Amino acid sequence: MAGKPQAEKAVERFPELGCFAVAVRRIVYEKGMTLDNAIKKSGISKSAWFAGMAGSGGKPTRLPSLASFFAIADGLGITPEELIAAMRKEAGVREKSNGERAENDE
């Protein structure tokens, strides 16, 4: 019997990874961009863009490569850190001051 897919294991440990696609869609909407424009600005192919969005319900079937992650953030006109913050907001995850992870109580 095979174990869980790598992406699923990663989302269990880091729930914000399961919110990547939701965060990206929200940023596109909030900035009034079109998805095609964001993809063009990222400089990556549509297939690479959508590969990072694969899966649904917070259970991605694969995760974007680091290069794609940076390119997608760039295409959205934000820093990778801002994209991570948006993903954490969607997941309700925050960092405690000592570096531990905690669920938001809000």
Sketch out the chain's domains with CATH numbers: 10-101 (1.10.260)
Backbone angles phi and psi of 103, in degrees to 5 = -80, 145
Look at residue 11 in the predicted model and tell me its pLDDT.
Answer: 85
Distance in angstroms (rounded) separating the CA atoms of residues 38 and 47: 13
Look at residue 103 in the predicted model and tell me its pLDDT.
Answer: 56
Look at residue 58 in the predicted model and tell me its pLDDT.
Answer: 56
Could you list the mean pLDDT of each consecutive 10-residue stretch along the chain, which spans 106 residues? 73 89 94 94 90 67 88 96 95 62 52
Look at residue 8 in the predicted model and tell me its pLDDT.
Answer: 84
Look at residue 70 in the predicted model and tell me its pLDDT.
Answer: 96
Nearest to 63 by CA among 2, 1, 8, 104: 8
What's this model's pTM, rounded to 2 decimal places? 0.79
Element (H, E) at 59: strand 59-60
